[in-house]
Amino acid sequence: MKLYFSPGACSLSPHIVLLEAGLPFTTEAVDLRKKVTASGADFSAINPKGYVPALETGHGVLLTEGPAIVQYLADLAPEKNLAPAAGTPERYVLAEWLNFISTELHKNFSPLFRPNAGADLVNYAHSNLTLRLGYVERMLDGRDYLTGSQFTVADAYLFTVLNWAGVLKFDLSGFPLVQAFHKRVSERPMVQQAMRDEGLLK
């Protein structure tokens, strides 16, 4: 398998999951502005959507959405318990979290990366993030991870998105359980390995 990534982007989530799952893989960095990979390939020809992550599965299928990729990877290594078994109610709870992170957190951080975003859009994003992180804070009460005591692919995704708060100077001090979660996940050896691989840690 091959993961196309950009350092610190949402592709960090499947990068973490690949390592946690112990699966063999290679990576290639992508310059998202130029749409060129580290080897000089046209990334738009690889993934017409033009963004990361993109995973070449080795079976003639390219997966290009993070929530789908991490579930695929979890199912390749069921013994790692990175996702509940397909068809169980718990699996749909996991899918619910992945969708929530994608639509309510990830997408509300996105405008804050745009230097030309107007004040109204920035304020709207901040308001939404504060509201949604309040929900996460409440759900983490009494839990180490989003679904309980077991680290899952949803935790890898939430950790990745929360990393952006530091980059964007979004204050998380009002969410102590979210902060504790972020620290807890950051201390996992495979999370640190993924971040070192992407040049985010020394």
Average pLDDT over residues 87-115: 96
Q: Say if 58 falls within a structural domain.
A: yes
The first and second tokens of residue 105, run together, are: 């957190």
Count of helix runs (H) and strand runs (E) in the chain: 9, 5
Domain membership of residue 28 as a residue range = 2-80+190-197
Share of the chain above pLDDT 70, in %: 100
Please give the pLDDT value at position 101.
98
Lowest mean pLDDT among 12-26, 36-50, 116-130: 116-130
CATH number at residue 68: 3.40.30.10
**Do 184 and 141 sit in the same domain of this protein?**
yes
Range 26-52 burial, b when 16+ CB lie within 10 A, else e: ebbbbeeeebebeeeeebeebbeeebb
Please give the pLDDT value at position 202.
77
Claim: this prediction has a pTM higher than 0.85: yes
Phi, psi of 58 (to 5 degrees): 85, 0
How many independent structural domains does the chain possess? 2
Average pLDDT over residues 143-150: 98
**Do 103 and 181 sit in the same domain of this protein?**
yes
Average pLDDT over residues 107-133: 94
CATH number at residue 126: 1.20.1050.10
**Do 169 and 129 sit in the same domain of this protein?**
yes
Please give the pLDDT value at position 160.
98
